[in-house]
Amino acid sequence: MVIWNEDNSGTAFSTLTDEVLQEAERRFGVQLPEAYVELLKQQNGGSLEANAVPSPSEKIEEPYIEVTEIYGIGEDMGIYDTSYLIQEWELPEKIVLFSGTGHAWLAFDYRKTSANPPIVYIETDAETKVYKLADDFAQFLGMLYIEESEIDEEYDDWNEWSEEEFDQLLSEGTDEEELSVALLSVSQSTTDYQWLGQVFLRLSQHQHSFVRNQVAEIVWNGAALYLEESTLTILLERFEKDENLDVRQYAESIREDLNRSYEDWVLSLDDSSEYVSSALLYQKKSMLLVYKEEGTWALERDGEIVHTSQTKEELLNNVTVDGQQLKAIWSQLKIA
C-alpha cells in the first residue's frame, strides 16, 4: 500500500538517522512505535495518499477521521511541536502528537505505557474528548483508505476563482459548502488584500459558524500578515466574541503570534534540532527565512542567501536587514 503522497504538500524533514531517533526518544522519554520509525525511514513526514480512517465512535458527526499528513521528527510541523500544542490546546499530558490541526488530533498515547502505545483521536470542541482509534500504529496504518469527499470533488472543479466571480457568488447567495470552496480558492490566489479583508469582514458575521470558522482559520494561516491593521483589529474583536469555540481559539493563536517577543522567537529556534526553519515577513513585502540545515545557520531574503554562520548566536548578532539587526526591526517583522 502506498502511504506517502508523491506530490508532497506536508512537511518532510531530512533523512531519519539513528542519532535523530535516539534524541527524539530521549526528549519524550518513550520508545517510538517500530512501525512509525520504519515509515519515517522511507520519508521523514509528509502528506498522505490515503487520507482517512473510520470514525472510532458514533458520537463523532463524520463517519471518518481525516488524516492529511503524518508528522516527522523535527520542529515546526513535526512531533517536537507536541509540548507547545498540548499547552496551546489544553490536551492530555503524556501523549505524542503525530497528525492533526486545531480542534482534531491523532496521538501516540503513553499515559499507561512507555512503548508500543495505542493510537487515540482527540477532539477539542466545547470540551476535550479522547477516543481510542487503534491498538498500535501498525493497525492504524492498516485502517487508512482514500476518502473522496463532496467538497474535494467540487473543489477540483472550482480551483480557480477570480475576485469578480467571488463577488458575483456572494451577491447571488449560496450554501456554505460552495462558499467554503470558493473562499479557499480565492484567498490563495488573490494579491488584493484590501479586497480580501473586506470579504473577511463580511463573512466574519456569516450566519453559519462553519463559514466564520473558515475565515478565522485562513486569517490564522497567514492572511493576517497582509491585512491592514484596522481590518485585522476588527476581525480579531469579532473572532474573540464569536459563540464558536474554534473561532475564539484562532483569535487567541493569532494574537500570540502577533505579540511574540524577539526573545521568545529566538528561544523557539532550537539549537539541538538537525533542521530548524522560521519565516518572517518584513514590512509586508519581503520574506525572510532563518534556518539551520546540516549544522549551518543561514538567513535568506526573498530566496537569496544573505548570511551564513556556524551558530545561531553568531547569525543573529551579525546579520543585518537594510543595515539593521533583526532585533532592531522586530516591530516591522511578522512571524509567517
Torsion angle of C-alpha atoms 250, 252, 257, 263, degrees rounded to 10: -150
Q: Judge if 250 and 268 occupy the same domain.
A: no
Q: Judge if 28 and 98 occupy the same domain.
A: yes
Task: Give the residue from 202, 231, 259 where a domain finishes.
Answer: 259
Amino acid identity, residue 217?
A: E
Amino acid identity, residue 331?
A: S
Place of cell 505505557: 113
CA distance 121 to 99: 10
Q: Judge if 205 and 96 occupy the same domain.
A: no
In order of 182, 199, 296, the CA distances from 170 in angstroms are 10, 9, 49
CA distance 302 to 313: 22
CA distance 185 to 192: 14
Residues 66-123 pLDDT 10s: 898 999 998 878 999 999 889 888 899 999 999 987 778 999 999 999 999 999 999 8
Q: Judge if 159 and 237 occupy the same domain.
A: yes
Tens of each residue's pLDDT in the chain, 336 residues: 567 877 665 678 888 999 999 999 999 999 999 999 999 999 999 888 888 999 988 888 788 998 989 999 988 789 999 998 898 888 999 999 999 877 789 999 999 999 999 999 998 876 788 999 999 999 999 999 988 754 444 444 445 778 888 888 888 776 777 788 888 888 888 889 999 999 999 999 998 888 898 999 999 888 888 899 899 999 999 999 998 888 998 899 888 888 889 998 898 887 777 778 888 888 878 889 999 888 899 999 988 999 999 999 999 999 999 999 999 999 998 887
Could you tell me the CATH number of the domain that includes residue 121?
3.40.1580.10
Q: Judge if 237 and 266 occupy the same domain.
A: no
Q: Judge if 192 and 109 occupy the same domain.
A: no
Q: Judge if 95 and 108 occupy the same domain.
A: yes
Task: Give the residue from 119, 143, 167 where a domain finishes.
Answer: 143
Q: Is residue 234 part of a domain?
A: yes
Q: pLDDT exceeding 70 applies to what percent of the chain? A: 94
Residues 108-162 pLDDT 10s: 999 999 999 999 999 887 678 899 999 999 999 999 998 875 444 444 444 577 8
Q: Judge if 254 and 270 occupy the same domain.
A: no
* Structural domains in the chain (count): 3
Amino acid identity, residue 106?
A: L
Q: Judge if 233 and 247 occupy the same domain.
A: yes
Phi-psi region of 94 (alpha: psi -120 to 50; beta: other; left: phi over 0): left
Give the domain range for residue 277: 262-335
Q: Judge if 40 and 118 occupy the same domain.
A: yes
Q: The dihedral of CA 56, 61, 66, 71: what is its sign?
A: negative
